[in-house]
Amino acid sequence: MSAVSRPTSTDVARRAGVSRATVSHVLNGTDHPISEATRQRVLAAARDLHYAPNASARALRAGRSNIVLLPMPRSGSLPGQDVFLAHLGRELAGMGLDLLLHGDHTASGVEGARMWAELRPAAVFLDTSRGTQPAVALLRQAGVQAVLLSGVPAGPYAPSVPIDPSAVARVATRHLLSQGHRRLSCLVPGGEWAALAERRFEAVVEAAQIENALVERVDCSLAVSSIAPAVARWRNPAHRPDAVYAYNDEFALMLIYALREAGLDVPRDIAVVGSGNQPLGAILRPTLTTTHFLVPDLAHAVASSLRRLLDGRELDPALAAAVQPRLIVRESA
Amino acid sequence: MSAVSRPTSTDVARRAGVSRATVSHVLNGTDHPISEATRQRVLAAARDLHYAPNASARALRAGRSNIVLLPMPRSGSLPGQDVFLAHLGRELAGMGLDLLLHGDHTASGVEGARMWAELRPAAVFLDTSRGTQPAVALLRQAGVQAVLLSGVPAGPYAPSVPIDPSAVARVATRHLLSQGHRRLSCLVPGGEWAALAERRFEAVVEAAQIENALVERVDCSLAVSSIAPAVARWRNPAHRPDAVYAYNDEFALMLIYALREAGLDVPRDIAVVGSGNQPLGAILRPTLTTTHFLVPDLAHAVASSLRRLLDGRELDPALAAAVQPRLIVRESA
DNA sequence: CAGTTATAGTGACACGTGTTACCCGCCCGA
DNA sequence: TCGGGCGGGTAACACGTGTCACTATAACTG
C-alpha cells in the first residue's frame, strides 16, 4: 500500500504555481479579484489532485460547520423514519447542509448533548424527550446556532416542530365519532410499542370525552391469542363496541382477521381503523381505513425550518399544516 | 440571548490553575503522570464549564477522526434498514466510534466520494454500486483508513461484506425445490422495487436451473389487479405452477389473498413463499413461509469487522455466517 | 555526596483552512 | 511628475487540540 499524502490546499497551490491564499480565493469564490488564467490553473490543479478540503480544518477556522445533526431517533418518535430521513437528507443537501445521523440512540440528556456538541454542528434536530432544558443549554453554549425540537409539548426554551405521533389516534377517533360510533375500543400493545401505545390511547380517550363516548382498553401484543378474549367477548352484541382503534395498520389487519374468524363482519358489526397507511391495508378486503402523516411534506417543512432558523428567521409556516395527520377513508370504517 | 463563549481547554486550564497541556493529559488519560489532586481539579473545572472538546480541532491535530461514515443507503440495498442502523450505531458507540449517516442518497461516484472525504472519516461503509474503484481510491487517498464495501460481487480493490439482498430468493427457491416443486413462478414487481426484483428473479432462475426446474415470470405491481391475469390463468391446473416466490412478504400476502378469492388453496394448490419475515406473515392464515436476514447479527458482524479493519486486522469471520439468509417454514410452503 | 530515576508540570509546535491586511505594478487624471 | 485608484497576488495570523521535548523538584542508590 503506497503511503500517498492526502492532498492539501498547499499541494494545489504548489502545482498551480500560486500561493495558498489564491487557491482559497478561487475555490471558495471570494469576491477578491483573480485573473481568469490563474483561476483555471488552480481549478485544474485541484481536479488533478482530487483535492477535497478538510472539513475539520474548515470548521475549526470558521467556528461553525454546515452539519445538521440528528441523533438517532428512538423508534416511534418519527413517523416513517427511513422515508423521512431520505427526504430530509436530500432536502438539506440542496441547501448546502449535511445531514448527519448520529449513531447511538441510547445517548440522551446532558451526557448525550456533550457528545453531540463535540461535532460543533450548525443545527441539531432532537425529540423533546432528549432535548431537555440543560441539554439544549449545553448545545447552545457549544455554539450550535439552531436547536430544533420535535414533539409535543413544545419546550418553551427552544423552537419546536409539534410532530405528535399520537395525533393519528385523535384524527382516527374523530372520524369514528363522526360516523356516529359512541362505544369505542382501543388496542394498547405492550412491549416495544408500549410507550407510543399509551399516548395514542390517551389521545383516543381525550377525543372521545368530547362526545361523551366511552373507550374500552384492550391490552395486547402482536399475536392473535392476545386479542382472542376480547374478540370472544364481542361476539355478544351487548358487550360489543361500535368501533376499534387498532394502534396501527398491522394490529388492525390482525384484528380484522380475528374478527372474521369469529364470525363478525367489518365494518357492519365493528368498524376498525388503523394508522400508518401500510400498502397491504389498501389491498386486503375489507380495505383498511387509516390515518397517517404526509412524511415527504413533513421532511420538507422541517428542512426548510432548519434553514430559516440558521438564517435567523422563524419557522416555516407550512409546518403547521404538515404536522397534521391525514385520514384515508376506505371500507373498514 | 447571552453571547457566551464556547469553553475551550484553555478556559478549563485557567479555571483549574494549570497549563493547557495538563488539562489535555488528564482528559485524555495519557500515561503521563499527574497528581491525583490536580487531576480532580481539572475534572471539576471541565464539569463546571460543561466543557466538550472540539471534535474538529481534535481530528485536525490527530489527522484522523473516530467517525464511521455510512452514506445513506438507497432503499433495498440493506435489509431491515432502520433496525440495522439502530444496531450498528449502538455497536459502534460501544467501540468508541461514531456512526454518521450522511444525508443525500443520490450522491455517488467520485463526486460523492469527495463529499464523504471532506469529513475525513476513519472508515466508510458503502454499497458496491457506489463504491467504484475510483471512489475508493479517492477515499483512501484522503486518508480514510478503512473502506468496507457491502454487496455482491465483492470489489477486488476493497474488503467487502457479501450482503446480497437477493440471496433470500435463492434460499426460498431451494426450499421449494426440496419440497419437490418443479414448476415455479416468480413475482417481479416494477417501479420502486424493479432493481431488487430483477436480481431476485435472476437468483430464482439460477437456483431452479440446478434441478432443471422452469420459472415463469410474472411482472406486477402492488395491486391485486396486476396479478389478476396470472391468477386467472392458474385456475387451470394445466397452467398452474407448483409454487410461487412472491418477492417479499407484502406481495406474498397479497397473492395469497388473491388466490383464495379465486378459489385456490395455499399451500395445497399452490405453495407461496416470501421474504422479510413481516410480523403479519406469522399471524394471518395460512401463515407465511418466508426468508430473511438476521439483521442484529449482521449489524454486529459489520461493526466488529469495521473495528478490526481499523486495527489492521482482517474481517470478522462471523460475517460469513451472518450474511446467510434464514428460512422460516410455516404453513404456506 | 554525586549520580540516576521517577514524578509533576509546562512551552511550543503542527495539523489545514479562511481571511485580513498588505504589497506591487499599472494606468489615469491633474 | 506625482498621487491615487485598481487589478492581481501574497504573508501571516488564528481557530482548538495533542504531544514531544524539556525543566524542576524529590526520591532513591551506591
Whichever domain contains A15, its CATH number is 1.10.260.40
- Integer distance in angstroms from CA B220 to C1' D17? 58
In this structure, is residue A141 part of a structural domain?
Answer: yes
Residues B86, A106: C-beta atoms closer than 8 Å: no
Of B7, B104, B224, the CB nearest to A89: B104
| Domain shared by B300 and B219, yes or no | no
**Residue A219: inside a domain:** yes
List pLDDT tens digits, range B285-300.
Answer: 999 999 999 999 999 9
In a domain, A207, yes or no: yes
The answer to whether some atom of strand D lies closer than 7 Å to the beta carbon of B110 is: no
Q: Is residue A331 part of a domain?
A: no
CA distances from B101 to A112, B213, B231 (A): 17, 43, 43
Nucleotides of C under 7 A from a protein CB: 7-12, 14-21
Interface A:B, Cβ pairs < 8 A: 171
Q: Do A210 and A182 belong together in one domain?
A: yes
Q: Are residues A114 and A145 in the same domain?
A: yes
Write out residues 183-212 of B within 8 Å (CB-CB) of A: none
Q: Closest Cα of chain A to B25: distance in Å?
A: 18
A187 with A223, same domain?
A: yes
- In A260-289, the residues whose Cβ lies within 8 Å of chain B are 279-280, 283-285
Å separating the CA of residue B71 from the C1' of nucleotide D20: 37
- Segments forming the whole domain that contains residue A23: 9-53
Closest-CA residue in chain B for A286? Answer: B257
pLDDT along chain A (333 residues), means of 10: 71 96 95 93 95 95 92 86 92 91 81 92 93 92 93 87 95 97 97 94 97 95 95 95 97 96 95 96 95 96 96 93 97 94
The CATH number of residue B189's host domain is 3.40.50.2300
Give CA–CA dist B270/B264, Å, rounded: 7
Per CB-CB distance under 8 Å, the chain B contacts of A222 are 279, 283
* Residues A164-190 as b or e (16 or more Cβ within 10 Å = b): bbbbbbbbbbbbbbeeebeebbbbbbe
Say whether both A100 and A192 belong to one domain.
no
CB contact under 8 A, B52 and A142: yes
Look at residues B144, B138, B67, B140 and name the one whose alpha carbon lies nearest to residue B108.
B138
Q: Are A286 and A266 in contact (CB under 8 A)?
A: yes
**Same domain flag for B177 and B139:** no
Which candidate in B104, B116, B220 is best for mutational testing of the A interface (most A CBs within 10 A)? Answer: B104
Q: Does B59 reach chain A within 8 Å, measured CB to CB?
A: yes
**Residue A305 sits in the same domain as residue A287:** no
For residue B100, give the nearest of A57, A82, A100 by CB distance.
Answer: A100
Distance from CA of A177 to the nearest CA of B (A): 28
Nucleotides of D under 7 A from a protein CB: 7-12, 14-21
B280 touches strand C (CB under 7 A): no
Q: Which residues of chain B have a pLDDT value below 50?
A: 1-3
Q: Are A117 and A28 members of one domain?
A: no
Residues 6+ apart with CB under 8 A from B244: B184, B185, B186, B187, B218, B255, B270, B271, B272, B273
Question: Are B158 and B300 contained in the same domain?
Answer: yes
Our CA dihedral for A231, A236, A242, A248, rounded to 10 degrees, sits at: 0
Cβ contact A63 with chain D strand, < 7 A: yes
Straight-line distance from CA B21 to C1' D27, in Å? 25
User: B-chain residues within 8 Å CB-CB of A75?
Assistant: 82, 86
Task: State the pairing for strand pair B123-127/A123-127.
Answer: unpaired
* C-alpha–C-alpha distance, residues A47 and A41, integer Å: 10
Q: Quick one: A273 and A191 in the same domain?
A: yes
**CB neighbourhood size of A286 (10 A):** 18
Q: Is residue A177 part of a domain?
A: yes
- Nearest residue to nucleotide D14, by CA–C1' distance, is A61
Subunit contact B101:A104, Cβ cutoff 8 A: no
Q: Which of A7, A55, A104 sits opposite B90 (nearest CB)?
A: A104
Cα torsion angle, B257, B258, B263, B265, sign: negative
What is the model's pLDDT at position A249? 97
Quick check: A92 contacting B, CB < 8 Å? yes
Q: Does B208 fall in a domain?
A: yes
Residue A60 located in a structural domain: no
- pLDDT, residue B4, reads 58
- Which chain B residues in 3-22 sit with Cβ < 7 A of strand C? 18-22
Q: Which of B279, B218, B211 is nearest to B246 (CA)?
A: B218
Say yes or no: A106 contacts chain B, CB-CB below 8 A: yes
What total number of domains does chain B contain?
3
Q: What is the number of alpha carbons within 13 Å of residue B150 lying toward its C-beta?
A: 25
Distance (Å) from the C-alpha of residue A26 to the closest C-alpha of chain B?
18
Decide if A30 is inside a domain: yes
Same domain, A146 and A180: no
For helices A81-94 and A295-310, what crossing angle results, to 10°? 40
Q: Quick one: B16 and B84 in the same domain?
A: no
User: Could B103 and A81 be called an inter-chain contact, meaning their C-beta atoms sit closer than 8 Å?
Assistant: no
Phi, psi torsion values for B78, nearest 5 degrees: -125, 130
